[in-house]
Amino acid sequence: MKNKLLFSSTFFVLILSFNVFLLNGQASFDLETGVVGTGYNNVRIPGDQGTRFSLKDDLISKTQIFFRGRANYTINSRHTLSLLYAPLETASNGNVPYNIVFEGVTFPANTDLEGSYKFNSYRLTYRYEIVIKPKFEFGLGFTAKIRDARIALASASLESEKTNVGFVPIINFRMLWKPYEKFGILLEGDALAAPQGRAEDVLIAATYRVSDRFGIKAGYRLLEGGADNDEVYNFALFNYASVGLFIYL
């Protein structure tokens, strides 16, 4: 509860400061929704002693509705700052024919279990547009990401959870090809791999500029990543069917 209040307050202050800053620049908003399903979600906690199981196959996950929102500010067409709020939470249910040791608690075999997976993301991004042409745009930048993660397992009589709040630096990129004036193909995302783990959040979508103030998009988003260490083993992939709205101020 304290983490939720902390992140909600911090994000609200950032948005407030961002809106004041926008008075001197060009602003836009990117709103996105749709459905998200689990491709895989393999867990072992602790990473060196727990039981490996799947929140996708051993416990059956459910498709969820998602939303995310981004506020952008662009200076001189080339320097873009943005704030992203991207919550994600999925639920799984089922039982397995073996004991599961999870974060110090042993769940007996053939017990009905409920799994919960949360991976909320808060990101501040700076990107420089390297190429700006009528039919092609390309930019690279840096994202400072704060993750608010939680994996939980519960039965009728037992429950346990692992939470993690941390900072992750990621490379940001954006590429837009516009074969026609109003229609485009957008590829954008954040991605980075390191010995400690990896993270990718990538969207490919068709875009259409409805007017000077509004645009729409529809496409596929992939969110994948994880870590393997003594505390946590978790690698997960999520598939998004996404639609969105651009608002230009």
Query: What is the token pair recorded at 205?
Result: 């979508």
| pLDDT tens-digit series, residues 77-114 | 899 999 999 999 999 999 999 999 999 999 999 999 99
The total number of residues shown for the chain amounts to: 249
| pLDDT tens-digit series, residues 156-194 | 999 999 999 999 999 999 999 999 999 999 999 999 998
CA distances from 181 to 30, 176, 223, 246 (A): 20, 12, 30, 16
Q: What percent of the chain has pLDDT over 70?
A: 90
Q: Is the pLDDT of residue 6 over 80?
A: no
Domains in the chain: boundaries:
2-248
Backbone angles phi, psi at 140, to 5 degrees: -130, 150
Query: What is the token pair recorded at 161?
Result: 């959870």
Contact partners, residue 6, CB within 8 Å, separation at least 6: none
Spatial separation of the C-alpha atoms in residues 30 and 107, rounded to whole Å? 43
20 band by pLDDT with thresholds 50, 70 and 90: very low
Closest of 152, 32, 28 to residue 82, by C-alpha = 28
How many helices, marked H, and strands, marked E, lie in the chain?
1, 15
Contact 191, 199 (CB under 8 A): yes
Closest of 119, 102, 116, 118 to residue 158, by C-alpha = 102
Backbone angles phi, psi at 182, to 5 degrees: -105, -15
First to last CA, the chain: 35
Helices (H), the chain: 2-21
pTM of the predicted protein model: 0.88
| Pick among 3.30.70.1450, 3.10.450.50, 2.60.40.2300, 2.40.128.90: CATH of 2-248 | 2.40.128.90
Determine whether 199 is exposed, middle or buried from the number of CB atoms within 10 Å of its CB (0-12, 13-18, 19+): buried
The pLDDT score that the predictor gives to residue 11 is: 52
Query: What is the token pair recorded at 64?
Result: 């969820």
Query: What is the token pair recorded at 122?
Result: 């808060």
The pLDDT score that the predictor gives to residue 247 is: 97
Mean pLDDT over 33-60 rounds to 96
